[in-house]
Amino acid sequence: MTETLKIVVPRGFSGRMADDTAFEGLIRDVALYYATDPFDGIDDPQKYGICWNDDRFWMTFDCQCSDETCWFCGFDCGCEKGKCRYFIDGVEVDGETSWQRNYEFLGKLPHELYEHDTPEYEAYSHQWKARVKERDRRWVTLHPAITHTCVWQNILENRVEGADWRPRQQPPNFCLKKTGLKVWWYKFIGRDMEFNRAPTLDDVKAIEELEKMAEFRKRLENEE
């Protein structure tokens, strides 16, 4: 018997892809055009993006250091942020109570009680998943509204109070200032991309404008 090993890599792992959307391709082009040698310490600008901020666009790579002092990972714009509100069956409780009752309701994880691939594991696992579903129905977290009045208000998105935590309150990885389009990705351009709204033809035109200007800039540099 021959065994085949299938290696699954996340989307965007090797940079530019054959099935890139036109828009992903344009973002990669911008990163490449505006990258300065040696790419601001980034291996591959088409894969990760670059750090850039002027009055036309903002781009940053998705830092994963998790350091609270990192301007990206520990980002805090300084605006007043309300607190999350927790509800169980429509009754408001504090965060600690919500977590504690959630833990009691779900019980131990299947692998904490039973060996994998045993009938007991399968049966318990089945019940556990049903409880998770029930929990998701009964437990609700409301994320607070945020209205930015800070210097970042053109980069960040306001949020209304609701069960949806988005839009992310971290700077986007790409923001077209002319049109207000914002894009977030996870580690690589193209991976788990989120947009503040669907891109329009105006966004495409604005990006193409950036590319033309970058080409012009490079030409000027070469003539010097």
Q: How far is it, in rounded angstroms, from Cα 48 to Cα 12?
A: 9
Residues 134-163: x where in contact with Zn ion by CB under 5 A, - otherwise, as a string: --------------x-x-------------
Tokens of 100: 């504690």
Q: By C-beta, is 148 or 203 nearer to Zn ion?
A: 148
Which residue intervals of the chain are DSSP H helices?
Answer: 22-34, 45-48, 95-106, 110-113, 119-138, 201-223
Q: By C-beta, is 127 or 149 nearer to Zn ion?
A: 149
Least spacing, CB of residue 176 vs Zn ion, in Å: 19
Least spacing, CB of residue 149 vs Zn ion, in Å: 6
Residues 69-108: x where in contact with Zn ion by CB under 5 A, - otherwise, as a string: -x-xx---x-x-----------------------------
Size of site (CB under 5 A) for Zn ion: 9
Q: By C-beta, is 23 or 48 nearer to Zn ion?
A: 48
Q: Which of 17, 63, 93, 204 binds Zn ion (CB under 5 A)?
A: 63
DSSP 177: T
Least spacing, CB of residue 158 vs Zn ion, in Å: 9
Dihedral pair phi/psi, residue 4, rounded to 5°: -110, 140
Nearest to 203 by CA among 14, 21, 72, 15: 21
Q: Which of 10, 13, 53, 65 binds Zn ion (CB under 5 A)?
A: 65
Least spacing, CB of residue 78 vs Zn ion, in Å: 6
- Measured between its terminal Cα atoms, the distance across the chain in Å is 64
Q: What are the distances in angstroms from CA 171 to CA 71, 81, 84, 125, 143?
A: 10, 16, 20, 39, 18
